[in-house]
Amino acid sequence: MLDRMLRVDHAGEYGANRIYAGQMAVLGRSQTGPLIQHMWDQEKKHLAKFSEILAENRVRPTILLPIWNVAGFLLGASSALLLGKEGAMACTVAVEESIAEHYNSQIRALLEQEDPDRYTKLLQIIKEIRDEELEHHDTGLEHDAESVTGYWLLKNAIQLGCKAAIYASERV
Q: Please list, residue by residue across 39-58, b when 16 or more beta carbons sit within 10 angstroms of its beta carbon and e when fewer do.
A: bbebbeebbebbeebbeeee
For 30, other C-beta atoms within 10 Å of its C-beta total: 15
List pLDDT tens digits, range 49-100.
999 999 999 999 999 999 999 999 999 999 999 999 999 999 999 999 999 9
Q: What is the mean pLDDT of residues 144-163?
A: 97
Question: Domains in the chain, please, with CATH?
Answer: 2-171 (1.20.1260)
Does the predicted TM-score (pTM) go above 0.85? yes
Residue 157 to residue 163: CA distance in whole angstroms: 10
Strands, E, within the chain: which ranges? Answer: none
Helix/strand/coil for 79:
helix
List pLDDT tens digits, range 103-141.
999 999 999 999 999 999 999 999 999 999 999 999 999
In degrees, to the nearest 5, what angle opens at C-alpha 12 toward C-alphas 10 and 17?
Answer: 95
Residue 138 to residue 78: CA distance in whole angstroms: 21
List pLDDT tens digits, range 89-106.
999 999 999 999 999 999
What interhelical angle do 120-142 and 33-56 show, nearest 10? 160
Residue 104 to residue 125: CA distance in whole angstroms: 12
Could you say which DSSP state residue 62 is in? P
Residue at 150: amino acid letter: G
